[in-house]
Chains A and B, each alone.
Chain A
Amino acid sequence: KNEVEQSPQNLTAQEGEFITINCSYSVGISALHWLQQHPGGGIVSLFMLSSGKKKHGRLIATINIQEKHSSLHITASHPRDSAVYICAALYRGGAQKLVFGQGTRLTINP
């Protein structure tokens, strides 16, 4: 069973809408990543956070350690935001390997 769950798996919205993608993880972590993957396959790191909230442009990421839950928000969404968004948990331990959610495919229509 995947230890990181994302919802929704697919999301279609109109340009300008406020977008929320959710991520929950099952055990304690040291940090959580939000990643963006475009059709070509390359992955870009958007945020790494271990508490609170981070903002970059129109993107906001929050994490609630007690509830083991994180959200990624996109304000004033734009068609260029269309991509797969993946949350990945960095678990404590020597390897520091990431455990990924299954991704949320976001499509923003003009």
Chain B
Amino acid sequence: DTGVSQNPRHKITKRGQNVTFRCDPISEHNRLYWYRQTLGQGPEFLTYFQNEAQLEKSRLLSDRFSAERPKGSFSTLEIQRTEQGDSAMYLCASSLVGTGVAFFGQGTRLTVV
């Protein structure tokens, strides 16, 4: 148990529907990262927060994607109008600034049908 919790673990949705994932980081960690992993590939950076501020977003994060970390604790990642290309594992990681050590959640596997 790494201490980073993601929900749901699996999500199957129809194309065009909206989905929301949640990540609960390790409580004292001030940084939270979202990564996306497609089949057979390593994860790719999507966005990260320091406390409640979203400091960087990848070009992979189209305008259908939005992430929040309202109180600097848990974070949500929403995908609107899902497309089949959004099918992937969405991974959350948290860390303390300056340590470089990231702890990963179990991921949410999204399948868009």
Contacts and interface: CB of A to CB of B under 8 A. Distances in A.
A101 B42 contact: yes
Interface of A is mostly: strand
Nearest to A97: B45
A29 B21 CA distance: 31
Interface in A54-91: 86, 88, 90
A27 interface: no
Contact residues of B: prevailing secondary structure: strand
Contacts of B101: 45, 48
Given A31-B100, A86-B42, A44 B2 contact: yes
Interface in B37-81: 37, 40-45, 48, 55-56
Interface of A: 2, 4, 6, 30-31, 33, 35, 40-45, 48, 86, 88, 90, 94-103
